[in-house]
Structure formats: C-alpha cells, structure tokens
Amino acid sequence: MAFNLKLNALANWLERRATLAQPWRQLRYVALDLETTGLDAQQDSLLAMAWLNIQPPLMDYGSAQYHVMGRKGRDLKRDLKQSPVIHGLLERDFLRSSEPQQTLRVLSRVLNDAVLVCHHVSLDWQFLQAAAKRYNVTLKPLAFFDTLQFERRRMQQQNEQPKPGELTLSACRAKYNLPMYGNHHAFSDALGCGELFLAQVYQYCGNEPIKARKIVQTKW
C-alpha cells in the first residue's frame, strides 16, 4: 500500500510538471478573494469569498461565484463587531448565506488542475487551509500566482523600493491603468485581482510562449 501511495505521488508530480511546462496561456487560472474579520487565520473568521475562472486572454464571468459564509447567531454577532467598516458586511447579508462545507467542496472542484491567483496568496491560503481542515475538505490547486509579490519583484528588478500603500490591489491596478473598483468586497476584489494578473503577465510575457512554471509557484 505504501508503495502504491508513493507511485501515485510520483505520477501526480510528473503530471503537474508536464502541465507547468506548457505555455502559460494554456492553463486555467482561478482569481479568488476572501473577506475575513482579521489577519490571523487561526484566530479570525472567514466571512465571504468570491472567485472566477480565467482562460487567458479571457475572463469567464459566467463562472463567477460569491458566497457569504453561514454562521451561527452568536458567532455572527461577535464577528460583525470586529470591523464592518472594513469588510462591509452587515447582519442582513447573512440571511442567504452559503453552507461552508458545501462551498469549500465546490471550490475544491474549481481549483483542481488550476492555478490559484490572489493578491497576497500567503494570507488567503492560510485562511483557506484552516477552513478546509475544519470542514474536512481537500484543496489542491495546481500552483499559485501572487499579484502582490509579482509587482514587488517587478519593482525590485527596476531598483524601486515600494512605498507604504504602493502594493495594495488598487495601487497596483492603477499602475496598469485599470479601472477603480470599490474596495473590500470579495467579488469586486476577485475580479480586480484577475484583471491585474492578466495585465501583469501579458506585460511580462508579451506574445512569447513563456512556460507556466516561469511565472507561478508550486508551493506556499
């Protein structure tokens, strides 16, 4: 049995390696954003999430989903006291909330064989992992792309030092002349992150068939 597990792991690794050797435009990407009560995945709560598929050069708006995560009355009142000004969610927004485990199962299927795109992947991935563990769901994206880190590296290569606030989603979008959206809403931020991703990579790669492994990370 142990041998079979190792064999399956090797087969999965080889398959992922072959997939990431393809031109980056051949892969599917999922732009995602979360709304939370804070920045500590072990202490704070996941309130809402949104995502949509990207098949370069197109964004699949028909695939977009937005979910407010269902919460118990006491937990909801506690969490909404944290900072509704920041995440913009009120108690009435949870009247038609989604069941967390079912939502995560849907996300699991969406992320299968796709690259997860976020603005600050390390933070969002911590919250997703914590939620997946809590609800016994497996999330295994093919790889990761962080629009914030991509912009940081671009600036460093040009000997630029990021100033405070210069790497926010809205600030990064402004550098690519992308339109402004309302901040701190999971859907608009997922959309904004997806657009920023396409702008960044097309500027970096142009029309060259750059391999996906040159622009993504396989671990986080």
From CA 46, how far away is CA 25, in angstroms rounded?
31
CATH of the domain at 144: 3.30.420.10
Specify the range with the lowest mean pLDDT, choosing from 33-37, 134-138, 195-199: 33-37
Query: Does residue 147 form part of some domain?
Result: yes
pLDDT in tens, 93-108: 665 667 899 999 999 9
Average pLDDT value for residue range 73-79: 57
Query: Does residue 26 form part of some domain?
Result: yes
Query: Does residue 39 form part of some domain?
Result: no
Query: Does residue 160 form part of some domain?
Result: yes
pLDDT in tens, 156-206: 999 998 889 999 999 999 999 999 887 678 899 999 999 999 999 999 998
The partner residues of 146 in beta bridges, in order of sequence, read: 118
Is pLDDT at 85 greater than 50 in this prediction?
A: no
Query: Does residue 40 form part of some domain?
Result: no
Query: Does residue 78 form part of some domain?
Result: no
Can you spell out the DSSP letters for 134-180?
HTT----BSEEEEHHHHHHHHHHHTT-PPPTTTTSHHHHHHHTTPPP
Task: Give the phi and the psi of residue 32 in degrees, each rounded to 5.
Answer: -135, 145
- Asked whether the beta carbons of 175 and 195 are under 8 A apart, the reply is no
Domain coverage including residue 21: 2-34+46-65+99-214
Query: Does residue 75 form part of some domain?
Result: no
- Which tokens is 78 given? 């506690």
- Residue in 67, 68, 144 with CA at minimum distance from that of residue 111: 144
43 pLDDT band (50/70/90 cuts)? Answer: confident
**Total domain count for the chain?**
1
Query: Does residue 94 form part of some domain?
Result: no
The reported pLDDT for the residue numbered 46 is 87
